[in-house]
Structure 1
Amino acid sequence: FCFQVLNSFCEACKEVTFNVPSKLEAGTLVGKVNLKECLKSAEHISSSDPNFRILEDGSVFTTNTTSLSSEEKTFTILLKDVQGHEEKTIDVNLLGHQEKTPKTRHTRDTVLRRTKRRWAPIPSSLMENALGPFPMLIQQVQSDAAQYHTVYYSATGPGIDKEPVGLFYMDKNGNIFATGPVDREEYPMFKITCYATSADGYLLETPLEHTIKIEDDNDNAPEFTEDCFQFHVKEHCKSGTIVGQVTAKDRDEPNTLHTSLRYRIVSEQPSSPKIFSINSESGVISTLSSQLDREKLAKHILLIEVRDMGGQPFGLCNTTTAVIIVDDINDNVPIFSISSYEVRVQENRVNVEILRIPCLDKDEPNSTAWQCKFTIVKGNEDNHFAITTDKRTNEGILCVVKGLNYETSQLKILEITVANEIPYVIVPYSSALAQGTCTVRVIVQDVDEGPVFKPCLLRITIDGCAKGETVVGKYLAEDPETGNSEGISYRIPPEQCKWLSINENSGELRTVTLLDRDQQDRTNKQCNISVIAIDRSGKTGTGTAWATIGPCNRSPIVTPIDYILCRDKKPIFVTAFDPDMSPYSHPFTFDISDMSMRAEWQTVQNNDTSIFLSPMRDMPFGIYKIPIVVRDNAGKEGISMVTVNYCDCTTPSDCNRSQQVAPAVVLGVWAILAMILGVLLLLIILITLCVCYGRTTVHKHVIDDSANQNLILSNTEAPGEEVMDPNIIPLQAAPVHSREHRVGMGRHEVSTGGNAFEMSKGHQTLNERGQAMMEQGRDSYSEWHNFTHSRLGEEPIRGHTLIKN
């Protein structure tokens, strides 16, 4: 039925009147009363007439089919506040009226009409999922122009000629029809445009925008946001502690009873005692008592229901599961399973385990409330003992850390206590607060003392790149009587770690095989090795060497190391290489180790593995050796000697053998002095030969490809006859370059700085055309004379004449 509701909200606690059809079907909404303005704290709502039901939001529904024969009916709404002992009533009057049949063939539908202008009617409404029959009349529009003209009506818009097309249509008389059911969740509202035209198409009215509202039907059950909720709560928490919140959503129209959700706990596991409650409106779960005990039950499961229509039985519902995990607190003290122990230990034994003490704790295993911490509170005044905890088994491990002496004490009585790593919490239902205590009697045994290793545990770290037979340490034992290591031999028993061997006499530990981490992936990079010491009497002592393979970090190198630099001085691209893996490889840092070289050459970082090398000033052509330091990411450094051939070339390929300077020869001070003495000796020999020949003229021709210098010897005071002696062999010298002080010899240079002395390989020739070569060399005789005269510091030898042509 469609009917008009008047005075839906009246003054609180006063009479309310509704205009309704004369016949009301069961479940029909009659109207809505504002209950909160009458009595805000109403806890109980009832109706004096059983044919009508009042909901919490004030909605009035019929429970049975009701007919208003007298066209008027009255009943009372009773509101009660039980706690405040307050009651109020609201009188409701129902005025019935007969339905008017529209002047169309669709007489089933009720059309709201008004007596005046109908071109702007109230919005139309259509119940979603209406069952029909279709087409269904939902509204009629009418123009006042119909009094004077024949009016034809039409409409356009969503639902008519736009998506969803064909859901509505308007006939020429202005009647709006629905052709089928509509889902409000998909289309909550339609806005169409209505037109009134004359027979010839003339527009008689301004186009009218008309709204068709789809009334919500409770066709969607609420759904929880999660299939299973999980919450955590501490055991023994206070009553009223919030555990968590469950939430649900409903696709029906908001702020209506269709989306008014209520929550409740359907079942709880275990079912007794009831420990949890839920707020019906918010879905917040809280505790009812402090009886949560993880040691009894670590998990609780709740089945929770959500229902719309304010939780009324006829509302739609859904369920979910909430798992509540009880978290542990330290409400149980650790205890000893045995209260006393007795153990025996040989004197002078150190770092040896003598007893394992079990500990029991009911708290959650492997938690801080379960882990035990042992303390020796009595009997360990000399610190002979130490106790630790095995984290896996929660046992106390009692060890001797300082040698006991049988001669001074044969018995030690220890008192040991245990506690947890976190403080104990006193709560109801927890165990009594009593600290666990046990007693250990340690009996010291007398032994014929053998060698004692110091320390008893030797820790060794081996370089991962160490080769075989590398000394990694020395492990010595002492005779407890004499305090020295004389006469003690060492050995490693078989079936031990294969990494190390020990020298029988010196106790040196050496690697057995190459330990390179890049060769093989070792699952165990640590090894526990027992070492036995034997004294002269055959008594033995045992020590432990704990070997660990460290990282293998090899030095980075420059490759290649030979480069050619042409006269354009284009920077040289220098790269480094490291066979290691990250983090022992690049990025590299580069530097020049020679301070003096840094003033002549500069490096510019290119990327993680390379630099650009270039000279900083002009320098002569020649070969330069530059020490480059390369450091890897771990700080390991290597020095590579880079050779740069500064060549008079355009491209490196042009720098052939004739253009290159010969390899440098580094000479010391004594070598240079020997060369000078050799020159003097050669001059003396030549002079002696001249004397022996008498008047025979002797010529010496020294050929220099660059200077053309000659030395001519004669035994006459006047210019003598030139002769060619096959015993006189010309010498050829090549240029020599150095960074530091140089002594010029013609166009040749001799380094005196100590860094480099470069000379091309000499060669000796015997030219049959000596006369022609002598003639060519006369022009340079004066230069040669000046050179030898200034260096020999004396006049020409008597009886010999330097002849200049």
Structure 2
Amino acid sequence: MLTFQARNKSNLAIDTQLGMEVNILDINDNPPEFKRSVYDVTVNEAAKQGGFIIGVSASDKDAPGTPNSTIDYKIISVTPTTKNVEFYIQESGAISFKGCFDYEMANKYSITVEAKDRGVVKLSSTVTIIVNLQDGNNHLPVITGQTGSANVVERTNGTSPLKIHTADADTRPTAAWRVRYSIQGDEGGHFAIHTDPDTNDGILTVVKPLDYEENTEQKLTIIVENEEPYFSCEVKERSPDGLWTINTNPPKQSSRNITITVEDTNDPPFFPDPVRKVILEENGAVGAFVDKVTAVDPDTGRPHKLEYSIEQDPAGWFRVDKTTGEIFVKESLDRESSHVTNGTYTVTVLVTEKDDHPPMTSTATIQIHIEDKNDNVPILKENIVSICQFDEVSGTEITAYDLDGDPYSGPFSFEIMGDHKEEWSFDPSHGNTVHLVKDKSVHAGLYTLIVKISDKQGSFVLQNLSVATCDCAVSPNCLMERNTQQKVGSGLIGITILAALMIFAFLLLSLTCSCGPVKSLVQVDNVLEDALLPSNIEKPGTDCVVPTILLKKASVSHSKDATFVSNGVQQTTDIHGVSSKITATHSLPVQMDEYWSRDRSQCYSSEKQTWMWKQYQTENRYQGSTFSRRSSQRRQGTYFISHSTLQSLLSQRLHSIQCLENELLDYEPQLYAVEDNSDNFVDLDPIDLPMNEFDPEMLSDLGPAFKHLASICNPGTLSKAEVMKKGI
């Protein structure tokens, strides 16, 4: 654009202005230019004809819209040239192909594309396009052979009897080359096959044992295919216009039929019913039939001798007939045994082929459900408890359990027996756990209660319950307080006992020296221990007058054949100053001991009475929670006693059991701790204190057995012949 102006010379003002537009005619002086000099693309071999491969684009700097800038694209060369593929380019620069790629024929193509303008003098430029082919699965794998024996031993697994060889023309190790095997005809799932990644071979493996008796051979079909899906493309007709005509054939898989031979071996016997269930009653008859197990030998044509035995029987309750397999009860069944779980006891029976080397075996399991019987009584969970001493009513929790199951167990009924019904009670009295209530009139001390515990069927037990009561403001635990007292006083007790023994020995020595000739001994037979304490336990009497102090300290001993013999526990008691050393096989007679204890309680404080009973319990060392009320055994041996000593001791006893105003001894009652291992105190079972009332009138008629004692007190009642006959 040119502009002309005319100005006034005087003032330089523009008088005239003229504009002129100059158009420059374009000439084709710029060739088309591609954005890149080389294009590179990868195409799958299985790509379908007519599909887009890549697009090219060129530009021209000449005037837009003129022939000089209009570009035409053309493929001028393809290397290599194959008859199955033809590339073409569209006006937009998009490149496609006709036919079918074949990776094995050519895996890369180099295409030269020309871009030319339409000027009078046409200018052009070229670009190279590299088409890389990715191998596709256009070749099926083919089974070429097999190696291996194809024999399998029955009842074995993990072996590889066969290897399948396969060939594939595709590129290795691509997915188009890798082979995948499958098995047909293996309904039992006995085999598996996997591919060797290096060779493409298929390795057949036994994963589930075969049985010769079921099938002597196994026919299988092995099929191979590639991991990548197969495609087929074949040029049938080449058309100058449009796409070519091609054929796609469906895949035809390669397969091979094989036969696996099963080799026979000796099979173990087996139980057709390996788990059996039986119901038996608890405490049933020994020798009762339980069940019968029968094993089968699967080997054909080779019968074997089978023998049965018990493999597992934790409690040893059963036996099995080794020939027939019949099971019998060997010992009575106990449902509460630790070997019984939820009422079921398990027995394992073993069958063995005796004539085989090594012997083949098999097992069967017998699950025996034991029906419960009411053969257990309720038991206290704890038989030693403590209760704090309050002004009002107080108590503690008592729990019982029963080894039997429902309906032979709880909830239980609780009842206090004996003379403690007024001071002690249960509230409520029914349940697994009840509340033991102490009346406010009960003083501090150790009490033994007889508790009757009944289950739902009425079966009951009398059990001792030791209850310690104390002031909890002083000690929070009554049992702990007693243990502490025992620990503190153990040394003092030892010194006291040693001193008492020395005094006792001195008194015996004095008595022996001061007395005259020994009188003849009086033999007493058939002492009724369950009614009276033995009275014929004094040493031979004397002609002299024994001082009162010696009578108080007189020692009393059992003797057999004029020799002191200890048959059991040696016990020392001290009641109102009378020291007695008693050798016994069991315990003091229950009724008389209860009578003396009740009389002594009127003269002694409750604290001393509690200690004396506690001393008696510990020294006798009872084991078991239920005290035998009567001893059915009589002492063995013959007892000898002097008349004068017996008369003196009887007088002392009659005097001591009377409730006098003052104590017979000149010292205050002293509480001594029990000499024992204090750590085991709380573990001792309490001993029953029978509460039967003693009637003094029963002494009026004691029967013939007491005549021996009467003859000692009054020898004139028997003739000399009778005395000599009885050995008095």
Could you state the TM-score of these two structures normalised by the residue count of structure 2? Answer: 0.32
Q: Which structure shows the bigger proportion of residues in helix conformation?
A: 2
Could you state the TM-score of these two structures normalised by the residue count of structure 1? Answer: 0.30
Q: Which structure shows the bigger proportion of residues in strand conformation?
A: 1
Pick 1 or 2: higher relative contact order, CA cutoff 8 A, min separation 6. Answer: 2
